[in-house]
Amino acid sequence: MFLPTTKQELDALGWDRLDVILVTGDSYIDSPFIGIAVIGKMLARAGFRVGVIAQPDTHSAADITRLGEPRLFWGVSGGCIDSMIANYTSLKKKRRSDDYTPGGRNTRRPDRAAIVYTNLIRQHFKNTAPIVLGGLEASLRRVAHYDYWDDRVRGSILFDAKADYLLYGMAEKATVELARTLNQVGDVRQIRGLCYIAGEADTAAVRKNYLELPPLDLVEEDKEAFTEMFYAFYQNNDPITARGLYQKHGNRYLVQNPPQPSMSQLELDAVFGLGFERAQHPYYETLGKVKALETIKFSILSHRGCYGECNFCAIAVHEGRTVQWRSEQSILAEARELTKYPDFTGFIRDVGGPTANMYGFECGQKLERGACPAKRCLYPEVCPSLEVDHSRQVSLLKKLRKIEGIKKVFVASGVRPDLVLADRQHGEPYLKEVVGHHISGQMKVAPEHSEDSVLRLMGKPPAASTLKFKSFFDKLSANAGKKQFLTYYLIAAHPGCTAADMKHLKSFADRNLHLNPEQVQIFLPAPSTYSSLMYYTGINPFTGKPIFVEKEPQLKNLQKDIIIEPAEDKTLGKRTQRTETNRMVAKRRPRRP
């Protein structure tokens, strides 16, 4: 069942007023992959009346007023992606397409969508119910942060939007707790995972137990203070060890409560058992189809979180450093449900998460005592305490492909090579299972670079890991009688990367990978990541030493051009056959999100 999005639907349900209205920068897609859909279904299961307004027209009252005013709160999200990342490329050029917009044209999501939607609500509803920010855009911008598009430090989005509260991270439990507390006229400021604005007089209790971050006016001007602030912010994201934070913005304070506890497996299974239509709401379907559904409609999310902590990636900040996985029974039940859809053709597009092979194991010490403050799970090498074990995933994949009505189950999410290599008991059976049954010609890996100096700044393992995995993959593919390829994601112009480094990467790819790379991205400084900190300050935050940062758009593009320039045949002076083969393979690849 879809949540209502029109007045006619409310009338059909016999509802005169909604408890919660969710506003999003995406179209309304009812899928477990879409945050607004999940939050809405969680609230509905808890007994609240919930409606959705997707991509409202910001120049009129028609969309934002059509469901009336909610009794408890407005929930505002920029969508599945930060709206500035959704709208602009790494070189700040406007994107023409949007996979989450009907018809695919990027014409309906405003820049800084969470701010625009909050102002739109206040414009048409004076003294309205509380406005609560959520989703990735709010989560990554909840404290002072470097904004690439303004090229400056901005304050918390809570102040910029003039919203009442902000829920960060994967906020299913926090949102339901907020609704219940507001319904009972209780004090929401005690809810974990919530940020709010406080005056000087309201911070007395907070000061006793919370950690103070350097104030906004200081971190705007002082890069050392900004680095100190970011380090404290990053280190206080674990639900077991994190302290609450507060930061002065002018004469008021941002207060961030400690994170919500991680979901239990039973709770996570319940989220995916909410019953999703796996379709775009009919009201928005009339405006055009959404490309995102091509990938997610018949895919299964098996886990969330990531212990990779790559410095350029925001997953650890938003989803957490603890990996939570669903039970085998829950995933198999979802797969059986997929076979009942009339348009299901027998192919599950993906079973995975942020990284495919992080299902079914975690560090026991982390689960008991929280993430290590001075050590990472995978960098500079896989920590022995993690006890990597792919056996659960092997068992799951074998059972999935035996379900009646399923022809093939793909593992399309990227695979982490160092985890496969670290699992001496089950790494080979896992790779053999995937190579033999769960890819169609290619497997995605993300070495990102070849040069150790750049890889260290990225928080990625050395290139030797990629080469060892490639040899392993090639051998197992040959044993299976299949001609298959690895797809390598690479990054140009990351902090610390020079044109000379890209030439070395080009040589490495030609000499060792035997290809001309196609999947190359220019680094984009996402808010609240270590790499964006490096980009802004020009300093390695782990050593305090200056690093080179390419900031000229033309020279960033040149770094990319160095690596994608076709290899030349020394005798014929033209593209090699392997370059053309890889180009044909690339045409079939899904675009990297």
pLDDT tens digits, 98-144:
999 999 999 999 999 999 999 999 999 999 999 999 999 999 999 99
User: Which residue is listed with tokens 């796996």?
Assistant: 278
Q: What is the pLDDT of residue 575?
A: 43
Among 48-52, 198-202, 441-445, whose mean pLDDT is lowest? Answer: 198-202
Residue 331 belongs to what H/E stretch? helix 328-338
571-576: Cβ within 8 A, 24+ apart: 575/516, 576/516
Tens of pLDDT along 462-516? 999 999 999 999 999 999 999 999 999 999 999 999 999 999 999 999 999 999 8
Does the pLDDT value for residue 37 go beyond 90? Answer: yes
The answer, yes or no, to whether residue 591 has pLDDT greater than 50, is no
Q: Report whether pLDDT(586) > 80.
A: no
Residue 202's pLDDT is 84
> pLDDT confidence of 587, banded at 50, 70, 90?
very low
Q: Which residues are annotated as a binding site?
A: 306, 310, 313
Tell me the per-residue pLDDT of 412-460, one tens digit each, with 9 for 90 and over.
Answer: 999 999 999 999 999 999 999 999 999 989 999 999 999 999 999 999 9
Report d(CA 390, CA 273) in Å as an integer. Answer: 25
Contact 515, 578 (CB under 8 A): yes
Question: Which long-range CB contacts under 8 A does 549-555 form with residues at least 24 apart?
Answer: 549/495, 549/496, 550/493, 550/497, 550/498, 553/91, 553/92, 555/493, 555/499
Nearest alpha-carbon partner for 146 in 198, 216, 204, 212: 216
pLDDT at 201: 80
Average pLDDT over the chain reads: 94
Structural domains of the chain in order of their starting residue, each with its CATH number: 7-197+252-256 (3.40.50.280), 298-429 (3.30.750.210), 441-593 (3.30.750.200)
B/e letters for 44-83, b = 16+ CB within 10 Å, e = fewer, are beeebbbbbbbbbebeeeebbbbbeebbbbbbbbbbbbbb
Calculate mean pLDDT across residues 36-63.
Answer: 98
pLDDT of 153 strictly over 60: yes
- In degrees and rounded to multiples of 5, residue 204 shows phi and psi of -60, -50
**Nearest-CA neighbor of 158 among 133, 126, 137?**
133
Nearest to residue 277, comparing CAs of 5, 551, 560? 5
> How does pLDDT run across 503-547, given as a tens digit for each residue?
999 999 999 999 988 789 999 999 999 999 999 999 999 999 999
pLDDT digits (tens, 9 = 90+) for 356-377: 999 999 999 999 999 998 899 9
pLDDT tier, 271 (very low <50, low <70, confident <90, very high otherwise)? very high
Average pLDDT over residues 28-54: 98
Q: How far apart are CA 33 and CA 11, in angstroms?
A: 29
Decide if 409 contacts 363 (C-beta within 8 A).
no
Predicted local distance difference test score (pLDDT) of residue 374: 87
3-state secondary structure 127-174: CCCCEEEEHHHHHHCCCCEEECCCCEEECCHHHHHCCCEEECCCCHHH
The single-letter DSSP state of residue 425 is T
Give the Å distances, CA to CA, from 213 to 349, 371, 387, 478. Answer: 44, 21, 35, 55
From residue 536, give the alpha-carbon distance in Å to each of 69, 227, 393, 539, 550. Answer: 41, 10, 40, 8, 11
Separation of alpha carbons 560 and 553, rounded Å: 11
Distances from the Cα of 278 to the Cα of 10, 135, 423, 553, angstroms: 21, 20, 35, 39
The alpha carbon of residue 124 and the mean position of all alpha carbons in its chain are separated, in whole angstroms, by 32
Give the Cα separation of 516 and 585 in Å (integer). Answer: 12
Binding residues for [4Fe-4S] cluster: 306, 310, 313
Determine contact, residues 312/458, Cβ cutoff 8 Å: yes
Asked if residue 568 has pLDDT above 60, the reply is no
Q: What pLDDT score does 570 carry?
A: 42
Q: What angle do CA 289, 295, 296 make, to 5 degrees?
A: 90
* pLDDT recorded at residue 519: 82
